[in-house]
């Protein structure tokens, strides 16, 4: 049918938390906006879902991002502004550590019950990483004098240089590798690992699951986006992937006739000569605006055709950012049986198929008939199968896959784990408008070479995403912050 023809001050591409926050901030400052979203829903990598059991009862799950940590202050404020409630992750009782030889240990607190030597090695590695994170920071890691050196060595190699204790290396590497970037530790640099730590306040914070996985939103993290979209009303257009983005800078005389890219933009210099113009062509609407906010993950930038093409630096940068791969597993039980055994539901084991499990039982408005302050009588576990293990799992039949994953979870919480009433695997890598999980990161050496360009506007095009954030990097908090920053920059430009 006919596409809508719309004129606005700003067109926002992507209705994830970053794009919606950019639109909200712009609208509050009196700018008109239109948000174009490829999917039939808002929220991007935050997504409320349901899984049915054999009796047809539906259980609430969060397919994407869900946890908030205390350092994520911008998100915490926003959740409050939107009138949403949060609740803490269940963490009473003992946790389980499975060591490399398969031995199961019960422990309290946040420190693995490894040997004294391994524990001392881990403490030493964590202290060194804390120091690097404090020194380098999350704002401009590429600008630090040690950037090139730390970006030239993989996290695994660096850990091997610091320690000869394999168990300590495995345990420390999982906090960033399978735990966050969801790539094997030989594929990303130490600088990238330091950015991950600095963005969360410190490396010690990454180690502390009571910190990192502190609270959830009642009604699910997608509620943040649903509320923002509700405020924006008809300015959000769903089912409408942007295919082409035409853009021009205000002064045509600076354009280079050979490659159609204005010289100042090609040289990576922000054009501060006021508004330009953009036309975003999507399946359901064509939006003409003065600015665009490109609020999609960087691995998807090249799904859009730019007319003229983006400057060479941007074309290069985008090829060095790729998604990690992780399967988020939900298993639902009649009761949270582990609690009756005095267990918190938390389990860890470096180098195992499922390296982390947690109690993910629903609370308040999250479950059918649930009300604020009430807990779901059904127990839910969440587990993660990262990078190379995720690849292995997708090669199996559904039955073999479910059996392998539940067996690995049973290593922590016992044989009852094998018999959930409902089971669900988040498959973000198969989603056309995400293509991986949790987020994108640079390949070896990419951050120091290209990081300084990731937040530079290209003429009238501004970038916003959790994956190019400083604080809150790879998290909803970072998405919110980047959305707000992009909007403020546009407001300042007039
Ligand atoms: P996001 O990807 O969310 O949104 C981008 C939007 O752009 C999408 O809606 C997409 O459809 C749309 N789009 C793409 N191309 C388009 C085009 N051409 N035209 C129009 N629209 C287009 N974070 C956290 O804080 N706590 C957590 O516990 C977790 N856990 C977690 C688990 C899993 C399984 C995942 C996948 C992710 C997490 N995260 C997380 C990460 C968190 O979900 C993520 O950082 C934010 O959702 C990123 O928000 P953005 O808006 O930047 O991108």
Report the chain (494 residues): mean pLDDT per 10 consecutive residues.
92 99 98 98 97 95 97 98 95 92 86 87 97 98 98 98 94 94 98 98 93 94 98 98 91 45 45 70 98 98 97 95 98 97 93 94 78 86 98 98 98 98 98 98 97 96 98 98 98 94
Please tell me the pTM assigned to this model. 0.95
How much distance in Å is there from the Cα of 24 to the middle of ligand 1?
17
Nearest CA to ligand 1 atom 9: 44
Q: Answer for the pair 182, 356: CB distance below 8 angstroms, yes or no.
A: no
Q: Quick check: bond before 306 cis, omega within 30?
A: no
Q: Does ligand 1 come within 6 angstroms of the Cβ of 310?
A: no
Q: Does ligand 1 come within 6 angstroms of the Cβ of 45?
A: yes
Question: Which three-class secondary structure state does DSSP give residue 365?
Answer: helix
Given this model, what pLDDT does residue 270 score? 46
Pick the closest to residue 59 from 367, 371, 329, 333 (CA basis).
367
Task: Please give the biggest Cα pair distance in the chain.
Answer: 74
How much distance in Å is there from the Cα of 467 to the middle of ligand 1?
9
Provide long-range contacts, Cβ within 8 A and 24+ apart, for 394-402. 394/327, 394/429, 401/425
Length of the chain: 494
- Ligand 1 atom having least distance to the Cα of 482: 52
DSSP lists the bridge partners of residue 33 as: 10
Pick the closest to residue 51 from 357, 314, 258, 332 (CA basis).
332
Residue 395, classified by CB atoms within 10 Å of its CB into exposed (0-12), middle (13-18) or buried (19+), is exposed
How much distance in Å is there from the Cα of 274 to the middle of ligand 1?
30
């Amino acid at each position: 049918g006919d596409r809508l023809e719309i004129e606005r001050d700003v067109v926002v591409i992507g209705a994830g938390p970053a794009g919606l926050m950019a639109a909200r901030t712009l609208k509050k400052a009196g700018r008109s906006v239109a948000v174009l979203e490829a999917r039939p829903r808002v929220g991007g990598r935050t997504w409320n879902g349901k899984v049915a059991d054999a009796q047809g009862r539906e259980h609430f799950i969060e397919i994407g991002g869900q946890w908030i940590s205390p350092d994520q202050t911008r998100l915490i404020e926003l959740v409050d502004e939107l009138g949403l409630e949060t609740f803490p992750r269940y963490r009473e009782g003992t946790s389980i550590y499975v060591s490399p030889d398969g031995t199961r240990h019960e422990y309290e607190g946040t420190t693995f019950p490894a040997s004294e030597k391994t524990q001392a090695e881990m403490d030493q590695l964590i202290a060194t990483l804390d120091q690097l994170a404090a020194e380098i920071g999350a704002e401009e890691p590429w600008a630090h004098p040690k950037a090139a050196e730390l970006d030239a060595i993989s996290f695994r190699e660096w850990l091997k240089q610091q320690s000869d204790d394999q168990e300590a290396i495995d345990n420390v590497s999982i906090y960033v590798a399978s735990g966050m970037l969801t790539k094997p530790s030989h594929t990303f640099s130490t600088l990238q690992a330091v950015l991950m730590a600095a963005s969360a306040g410190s490396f010690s914070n990454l180690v502390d699951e009571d910190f990192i996985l502190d609270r959830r939103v009642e009604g699910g993290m997608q509620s943040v986006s649903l509320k923002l979209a509700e405020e924006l009303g008809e300015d959000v257009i769903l089912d409408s992937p942007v295919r082409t983005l035409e853009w021009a800078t205000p002064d045509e005389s600076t354009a280079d006739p050979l490659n159609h890219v204005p010289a100042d933009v090609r040289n990576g210099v922000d054009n501060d000569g006021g508004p330009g113009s953009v036309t975003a062509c999507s399946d359901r609407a064509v939006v003409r605006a003065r600015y665009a906010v490109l609020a999609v993950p960087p691995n998807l930038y090249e799904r859009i055709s730019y007319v003229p093409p983006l400057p060479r630096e941007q074309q290069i940068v985008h090829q060095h950012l790729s998604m990690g791969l992780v399967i988020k597993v939900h298993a639902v039980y009649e009761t949270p049986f582990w609690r009756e055994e005095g267990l918190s539901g938390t389990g860890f084991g470096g180098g195992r198929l499922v390296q982390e499990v947690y109690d993910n039982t629903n609370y308040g408005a999250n479950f059918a008939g649930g009300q604020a302050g009430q807990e779901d009588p059904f127990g839910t576990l969440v587990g993660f199968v990262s990078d190379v293990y995720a690849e292995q799992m997708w090669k199996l039949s559904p039955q073999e896959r479910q059996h392998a994953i539940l067996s690995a979870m049973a290593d922590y919480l016992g044989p009852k784990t094998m018999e959930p009433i409902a089971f669900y695997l988040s498959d973000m890598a198969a989603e056309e408008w995400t293509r991986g999980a949790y987020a994108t990161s640079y390949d070896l050496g990419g951050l120091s070479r290209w990081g300084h360009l990731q937040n530079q506007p290209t003429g009238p095009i501004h970038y916003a995403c959790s994956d190019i954030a400083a604080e809150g990097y790879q998290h909803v908090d970072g998405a919110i912050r980047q959305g707000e920053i992009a909007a403020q920059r546009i407001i300042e430009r007039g």
